[in-house]
Structure 1
Amino acid sequence: MLLTEQASPYALYHCQQVSPQTIREIKQASEVVGCVLMQAWSVIRNLDEEALLYYGFPEESIRLVKYDALAPFCMRLDWCWNEQTGVKKVVETNSQTPSFWFECTVGNHRVAEHFGLRSPDVNAHDTLKFTLNQHIKRAAVFLDKPFEECEVVFTTLNNAEDLGTMQWLSSHVHRSTIMPLEFLRIQDGKCLFDQRTGKSIDILFMWYPLEWAIHDTDENGERLWPALEKLILERKVVIVNFGSAFALQPKSVFALIYDLGLDFFSGKDAETIFEYFPKTSLNKNDIRDSYFAKPILGREGEGGFAVNSGRITAKSTSNNPWYTEQAYVYQELLEFPKVEIVGQSMTAVWGAWLYNNGYDKFIAGGLGMRVSEGEITDNIAYWCPVGC
């Protein structure tokens, strides 16, 4: 299973057998975590600019974060789910990434069948299809335009993984098209359109980090963000899972939840935070001398490092200055589970998808496992299919 022109394998020819109870527990835990995150989203939208800057939101993103009232559609939670030690903590939310989506929704089912095991979640695909179409229709209402008259487009970076995922995703929505990001154009502040066809776009499903978009320029060096932001604010286009999703993307959101305190949340949400959220802070002294540090706008493990009893014990293999020069967030150090695959011990991270059910409540979708030879899961980790 190789990506185009990729020398190292993306997935392992293996299917890790897990119990149906484990799958059920991870999904249930993900849903209650989703309730806390939806509450956090409401809080974030009402914070003032000074507070958002404190928690690491780029200044250029703030207006859209506070404006976008169309709630997030989906996210992938990453879990340290260690049944041997009893440590079951959600380590971060990834609400603006297309990665590890097909694998959790369809891939596990196909591989499990190949190895003579049962699918870990037979309803994952139907859940995605139903909620996606429901959310696209909500976007049309938000735009105040009949859905049948809306031009729906899916776009992302032009690479095998991201574009392939978007092609698969768009196949679930009737009358939608897909295009590489580089063909997206803005016309005189009036509309967003496809350069190839000239068609204007009403609803855009764009998997591209907002923190990158605010810095993009055209061929003349002019910043593109002001024009795009204007179109969104004037409701000339709706970008699904963009501003609202970015509100939950920074790793500092978990620090905000801890800063609000358990008394701020309802009894059930407070219990969820106590049980499933690791202690997280913008100040490493709050976590003492054992913690995991990661950039506030970190992705794929970039720039992360672990400190145990004051000593660095693990560092990411990827340390692009874009990430390492950011402010960091600090999280209590967790012991991730190990799985034995072909005689080799690997670190396992669970990913679990959540979808907006149409009433701004997150429901569980597919889930899956990534494994890495080192202690930090990054962009060279393997997909390890699972079955029951």
Structure 2
Amino acid sequence: MADNHTAKRDEFYETISTFWDRLYGMEYALYDCLELSDTDVADIRTATKEAYNVYKKMVRLIRQASDETLIDLGFPGKALEFLRMQLLPYETVIGRFDFVQTKDGLKILEFNADTPTFIRELFDVNGHVCQEFRMTNPNAGEDDYLGKSIRNSVFHCARQIGVTDHPYVVFTAHEEDVEDRETMMYLMNVSQIKGARFVPLSMLQVVAGDGVYDSEGMRIDVVYRHTYPLEALLEDVTDDEYPIGIEFMRLVERRKVGMLNPVSAFLMQSKAVMAAIWGMHEQRHPLFTEEEHKVISRYFLPTYLDEEPFLASGVTYVSKPAFGREGDTVEVRRQGETLFQQKAKSYAQYVKVFQQYVDLPSADVQTEIGTVQAHLLIGSFVVNEKPSAFGIRAGAQITDNLSYFLPCGVKGANEWT
């Protein structure tokens, strides 16, 4: 039975070129389709829109904050000179909320506003799986919107640095990372920007005070570094200790080169922003309207910059770094004791935030090894400030880089896309 499922799965995914249906030699994309209702779809889009509007208002306040406050919110010292830059009419081009469905409705675990992956899976592959399983794809048409949004953002970015003719746009990533590389290739292809190229990060030439060039000496107008986190870029140095990342950011600051996602996306990225939002909500701060306080109460979990509130209440909570990915350095704790955690501790140097723990719902999913029970996490994209594609990760209680991509669809009356 399992062998037959694997054969059908492999035959199907072989039809989708350059897609990483397996990662680290293991099954990643499932040959299965989770059934959602129209209400589920509407709820996710509403939550995404309303939560983003709260974040957008908050980040405008944070941009005016003192350096000391920014440090308290977990931003690295090296970022301070750049954090207040605003070169686009959007705070982020592509961001992704992670929601969990609880008995009290959808709750936000985090907002990856700067470098979210899971893009091709939801904007492209989910539709192919829905067609295979005769379901309606809830993300139909979002790939076209994504392409238009990238083109629009590139246009704005180029104008901000004084480029009035057609800009030379480079999409970049670590070439050896298949997921990062192919995500950037997908974004480049869906954007349909004339003359755009993929150039590996290692091939970019940063000339201090002048500009950024490709390996052939062509000056780059806009660098799309979507999978390269800004906190990593700021630490980037050459073999001879030249601070290439800082010099690149100074070129962005001096409008010698454009960069997407913009710095404002990084300003939203710190998980400590959730703590700031929750703290202001508890104080009924007038920054937020009564309706926005209701939104915060509905979708946000109690989140703090210290664990004292949870130690006092005895409530189970999660310790997570302000900057971190794939569940790395995350611990589930009660009364200061660790209940379970990820082995990886790559982000231990960052400020920690403490968030009320909620169980991820579970469902039976079809895998190569048979039916397994997996915990479900909803990833929902914001593209140029509008709700866009969403989808499901299925895995452990702490979602990590070994979690499955579980396609999802809506049962339609013989109608599918």
TM norm structure 2: 0.86
Q: CA deviation at 1:188?
A: 4.1
Question: Residues 133, 5 of structure 1: CA spacing in aligned structure 2 closer, same or farther, 3 A cutoff?
Answer: closer
Q: Which 10-residue stretch deviates more, 275-284 or 299-308?
A: 299-308
Q: CA deviation at 1:311?
A: 4.4
Instruction: Please tell me whether residue 92 in structure 1 is matched to residue 118 in structure 2.
Output: no
| Runs of 4+ in structure 1 over 3 Å off | 1-5, 308-311
Q: CA deviation at 1:86?
A: 2.9
Q: Which ranges in structure 1 are unaligned for 5 or more consecutive residues? A: 357-361
Match of 1:275 in 2: 298
Output the amino acid matched with 1:18: L
How does 1:115-130 map onto structure 2 within 5 Å?
Answer: 115-130=133-148
CA shift digits 1:113-149 (9 cap, x unpaired): 1112111221211221222211111112211221x33
Question: Residues 226, 346 of structure 1: CA spacing in aligned structure 2 closer, same or farther, 3 A cutoff?
Answer: closer
In 2, the alpha carbon distance for the partners of 1:317 and 1:366 equals 31
Match of 1:248 in 2: 268
* Contact in 1 for aligned 2:94/2:116 (Cα 8 Å): no
Q: CA deviation at 1:227?
A: 1.6
Q: CA RMSD in A?
A: 1.7
Instruction: Please tell me whether residue 136 in structure 1 is matched to residue 160 in structure 2.
Output: no
Q: CA deviation at 1:257?
A: 0.9
CA shift digits 1:56-110 (9 cap, x unpaired): 100111121112342321200000123xx23420110112224100111111111
Match of 1:178 in 2: 198
CA shift digits 1:230-249 (9 cap, x unpaired): 21111011102131111011
Match of 2:234 in 1: 214
Instruction: Please tell me whether residue 366 in structure 1 is matched to residue 389 in structure 2.
Output: yes
In 1, the alpha carbon distance for the partners of 2:310 and 2:262 equals 32
CA shift digits 1:286-335 (9 cap, x unpaired): 23331011011111110101124654332124233xx1243210001112
CA shift digits 1:184-231 (9 cap, x unpaired): 111242010112x21111111112111111111112122113321221
Question: Residues 69, 287 of structure 1: CA spacing in aligned structure 2 closer, same or farther, 3 A cutoff?
Answer: farther
Q: Which 10-residue stretch deviates more, 375-384 or 135-144?
A: 135-144
In 2, the alpha carbon distance for the partners of 1:113 and 1:143 equals 43
Question: Residues 385, 5 of structure 1: CA spacing in aligned structure 2 closer, same or farther, 3 A cutoff?
Answer: closer
In 2, the alpha carbon distance for the partners of 1:251 and 1:268 equals 23
In 2, the alpha carbon distance for the partners of 1:335 and 1:246 equals 28
Match of 1:359 in 2: none
Instruction: Please tell me whether residue 265 in structure 1 is matched to residue 288 in structure 2.
Output: yes
Match of 2:408 in 1: 386
In 2, the alpha carbon distance for the partners of 1:14 and 1:5 equals 17
Match of 2:47 in 1: 29
Output the amino acid matched with 1:246: F
Instruction: Please tell me whether residue 291 in structure 1 is matched to residue 291 in structure 2.
Output: no
Match of 2:414 in 1: none
Q: Which ranges in structure 2 are unaligned for 5 or more consecutive residues? A: 1-12, 14-19, 411-417
In 2, the alpha carbon distance for the partners of 1:128 and 1:98 equals 14
Identity %: 26
Match of 1:332 in 2: 356
**SS class of match (2:277):** helix
Q: CA deviation at 1:3?
A: 5.6
Of residues 182, 203, 219, the one that matches 1:200 is 219
Of residues 169, 194, 215, the one that matches 1:152 is 169
Output the amino acid matched with 1:277: F
Match of 2:17 in 1: none
Match of 1:167 in 2: 185
* Contact in 1 for aligned 2:130/2:407 (Cα 8 Å): yes
Match of 1:354 in 2: 382
Q: Which 10-residue stretch deviates more, 289-298 or 46-55?
A: 289-298
**SS class of match (1:255):** helix
How does 1:28-107 map onto structure 2 within 5 Å?
Answer: 28-70=46-88, 71-82=91-102, 85-107=103-125
Match of 1:234 in 2: 254
In 2, the alpha carbon distance for the partners of 1:36 and 1:95 equals 13
In 2, the alpha carbon distance for the partners of 1:75 and 1:150 equals 24
In 1, the alpha carbon distance for the partners of 2:351 and 2:393 equals 27
Question: Residues 225, 174 of structure 1: CA spacing in aligned structure 2 closer, same or farther, 3 A cutoff?
Answer: closer
In 2, the alpha carbon distance for the partners of 1:87 and 1:108 equals 24
Match of 1:345 in 2: 373
In 2, the alpha carbon distance for the partners of 1:226 and 1:386 equals 41
TM norm structure 1: 0.92
**SS class of match (1:67):** coil
* Contact in 2 for aligned 1:337/1:347 (Cα 8 Å): yes
* Contact in 2 for aligned 1:79/1:349 (Cα 8 Å): yes
**SS class of match (1:352):** strand
* Contact in 2 for aligned 1:4/1:160 (Cα 8 Å): no
* Contact in 2 for aligned 1:170/1:177 (Cα 8 Å): yes
Q: CA deviation at 1:4?
A: 7.2
Q: Which 10-residue stretch deviates more, 263-272 or 378-387?
A: 263-272
Q: CA deviation at 1:267?
A: 2.4
In 2, the alpha carbon distance for the partners of 1:22 and 1:276 equals 15
Output the amino acid matched with 2:357: L
